[in-house]
Structure formats: C-alpha cells, structure tokens
Amino acid sequence: MNPMKTLSTRRVFIQRGLCLLAAAPTIPTFLDQTVMALADPDDVKRTQQPSGKDGRILVVVQLGGGNDGLNTVVPYADDQYHRLRPAIGKDAAKVLKIDNYLALHENLAPLKNLFDNGQLSIVQGVGYPNPNRSHFRAMDIWQSGQPENDLVTDGWVGRYFDNTCVGADPHVGISIGAQLPLAMQGSRITPLSFDRPDNYRYKGKDTSDYLSLNQAPDGPPPANAASVKATPASQLDFIHRTAMDAQVSSTDILRITRNYSPTVQYPATEFGNGLKMAAAMIGGGLPTRVYYVDLGGFDTHVAEIARHDTLMTQLSSGIAAFWADLKQQGNQDRVLMMTFSEFGRRVEQNASNGTDHGAAAPMFLVADGLRQGVIGQHPSLTDLDQGDLKFHIDFRSVYASVLQDWLETPSKPILGNQFPILPILKA
C-alpha cells in the first residue's frame, strides 16, 4: 500500500478523532502517541492538552442474570433472612462481617480487604419505581437509564460520550464482550467492542490490499452526519470512515494487549481475562474513559448455593487482581469500578433451593478516596413488594454521582432529570 496515503488518512483520523470534554479544564487528549507522532506539527499543537494518562476512567462491571444481593451483602443478623432462606441462607458464622447486621459473602475476602481500606463502598437497596422482572426489559432499563421509555436506542454511557465529546473517536469507550451493550451505544458515538482483541481485526489473508480498499476519503467528515442524505456516495463515505477508525483502533489494541505481561496473577476466567485486557489498555495509555466488562450466569433459580459461591469467587478474585495490577501501574487513583445487576432476587427461596427474579439490590463501588463504606439503609425484609425488596436509592442517583463527582460532567443532560447526588467520593 502507498505509504503517503496512509499518512494522509491518519491525519484525517486525528482531525476528526478529537474527543475533548466540552467544559472541564483537566481533559485528556484521547490521542495515542503513535498516531500523534505521524501528525502534522499543527495538529499536535491544536490537540496538545494534558496527557491522556491523567484522565479518570470508569469500569462498569455487569453481573448478568440477576445477582442475589441478599447472598452477596448478607443481613446475617436478621432473623427474617434465615427464616425465609432455610436452605440457602448464608451461615452467620462464616460470612465476613462488616458491622453488627451486615456481612459480605464468605468468598468476597478480597473485597472485604478493600472495604477495610476504604476502597470499597456498598450502595444498598438500589432500584427504581415499578421494577420490571424480565431479564431483557430490566437490563434495558439499567443500561438505558430510562425506565419510562421502552423505545430507547441509546445507553446512559453512550449519552455521556455524545454529550461530552466532540468528534467521533470510538476509543472513548471499550466493551469487552461479543456484542456492544445498549449502555455504551450513543446516537453519535459508537464505542469499540470485542470479546477478544484477536477478534477485533480483519481476518482475511490479503491484509495489505484490504487496507488499500478501506482507506478513508480525504477531507473532513460532514459536520452533521445525521442530516446527510442517504446517497450512494454519502453512505460509502460513512463506511470508509468507520473502516479507517476500525483499522487504527485495531492496530493500537492488538499492539497493546499482545505484549501485556503484568506481574499480578489474574484468575484464569473469562471475567479475569476481560479485566486483564482492560488493565492492559489502561496501562498502554489508550484514551478510553469507560470500560465495560460482563460477568454472567447469575440467574440462580435452581440449586443456587454452588453456582453463586463460584460466581462470588470469580467476581472478587478478578477485581482483586485488577485492582492490584492498577496499583503496580500507578493508575489506581484514576479508576472507579461500579458493579450492577438487572435485578436482585426474591427474598424467599423457591422450591428448588434457588431464588426467582426480584427487585432492589446492592451495588459495589471500588475506588481510591471513597467517602464512606456503606451508603443508604438496608431494605426491610418484612415490608416487601410482591415478595421483593423495596428500593431506597434510585439507580440513576448512583449514575448521577459517578457522572458528576467522578467523570466531572453534568448529569442532567445525560439522565434527563437531576437525581440526588450520593456521598460517594471525597471532595
């Protein structure tokens, strides 16, 4: 392929790949050094902001299937808990107590350490009005952040990108999984997603001719892509530009993840591997603001204990390794992790020693500089809604707090309303 052409199209990529936050003073450039080195001096000058390595990062951990909140953060001192869960209730003698009422599941010892160090917060009883108990719909609600709107086509993180970034650099978000989750989908910006970096590349044999056929056209992209008429030429232009973005990001991601060898030992699970890749990309200086990692299998209708215990181990060992790795990198203070599940589970165990779909549940937040360990009241085990816990904290309050106090952006344009900010982070 023609080297000159590569250079010129890379410059095009840079020109439109700027993703500066609109109104915040400490903004990463979202530019990676290899691309920067090829750019015109003028381009560099224009985009030279504080280094991408200073930017704060959010890591969303999705617990798919409906995690049993009551067996994760256990109200071990509540008689009603043991009464309603004679077979699957956690043993008060084994759980990891954090006060005289609450404890963490016994396989969450690494998370208990983080809690004791002030690096883990538990937000209790999170949910929303009229909870939906269908996996699909409830997951859409959590991912869109819009329980009232069932036709939503973008997610809350996607709207964060749309609202705060100029340009269309897809690097701003990376989802590790086979399919881009609705949460990350913006109407203007579509982040990257792949299950393994090795799948995020062109697999045909003739890569050099493929590259030539997929060059981006010269010149800036249309200012308002959404209003462009769908002619053959405009559609081709759009696909060529997407292909160029794909190629540049693929090269970066393969280069960074292939050679990553952390000193920390990650658990050999899919979740552990996903977090290891996220760590590689953070350490590699990618300008990514939000990573999205999934741990599935929480739909424990039958014989819950064995499965849930294993999942708790996977969750805590993965997070522990990731957190230690970030410390090694010197990046721990840049990252906030947040876990969520589409719903909690029924308070009372079912006939199969499992639990059915429920409602409110706790969320975990992991970061340096958290303000307090437990946020909010534990929901009552006797005052229930159709057998499920009632929520005290709207999940959009958690999102709003993360957006405002961590990502330093106004939350109302993203969430539609101003939700109360929780005392999560130190000022």
Binding of residue 231 to another protein (CB under 8 A): yes
Interface residue with another protein, options 219, 351, 383, 386 (CB under 8 A): 351
Question: CA 237: distance to chain centroid?
Answer: 31
Residue 271 and residue 55 in contact, taking contact as beta carbons nearer than 8 Å: no
Binding of residue 371 to another protein (CB under 8 A): no
The Cα 65–Cα 340 span in angstroms is 11
Q: What one-letter code names the amino acid at 352? A: S
Binding of residue 80 to another protein (CB under 8 A): no
Interface residue with another protein, options 194, 292, 391, 395 (CB under 8 A): 194
Binding of residue 134 to another protein (CB under 8 A): yes
Nearest Cα to Cα of residue 283 among 303, 253, 306: 253
The Cα 185–Cα 194 span in angstroms is 14
Interface residue with another protein, options 3, 41, 219, 232 (CB under 8 A): 232
In angstroms, what is the minimal distance from the CB of 347 to another protein?
A: 17
- Name the phi and psi angles at 157, rounded to 5: -70, -40
Which pair of structure tokens corresponds to residue 46?
């224009």
Binding of residue 218 to another protein (CB under 8 A): no
Q: Pick the piece of the chain touching another protein (CB under 8 A) from 71-79, 233-241, 287-295, 341-349.
A: 233-241
Contact residues for 279 (Cβ-Cβ < 8 A; gap 6+):
260, 262, 322, 325, 326, 329
Closer residue to another protein (CB): 214 or 332: 214
- Name the phi and psi angles at 308, rounded to 5: -65, -40
Binding of residue 301 to another protein (CB under 8 A): yes
Binding of residue 236 to another protein (CB under 8 A): yes
Closer residue to another protein (CB): 7 or 233: 233
Binding of residue 150 to another protein (CB under 8 A): yes
Binding of residue 19 to another protein (CB under 8 A): no
Torsion of CA 278, 342, 129, 185, to 10 degrees: 50
Binding of residue 212 to another protein (CB under 8 A): yes
The Cα 38–Cα 338 span in angstroms is 36
Residue 319 and residue 210 in contact, taking contact as beta carbons nearer than 8 Å: no
Interface residue with another protein, options 100, 179, 261, 382 (CB under 8 A): 179
What sign has the CA pseudo-torsion 228, 232, 237, 238? Answer: positive
Binding of residue 209 to another protein (CB under 8 A): yes
Which pair of structure tokens corresponds to residue 18?
């700027």
Binding of residue 403 to another protein (CB under 8 A): no
Closer residue to another protein (CB): 52 or 181: 181
Binding interface with another protein (CB under 8 A): 134, 136, 140, 150-153, 170, 178-180, 182, 190, 192-194, 199-206, 209-210, 212-214, 225, 229-232, 235-236, 238-240, 242-243, 245-246, 249-250, 301-302, 350-352, 354
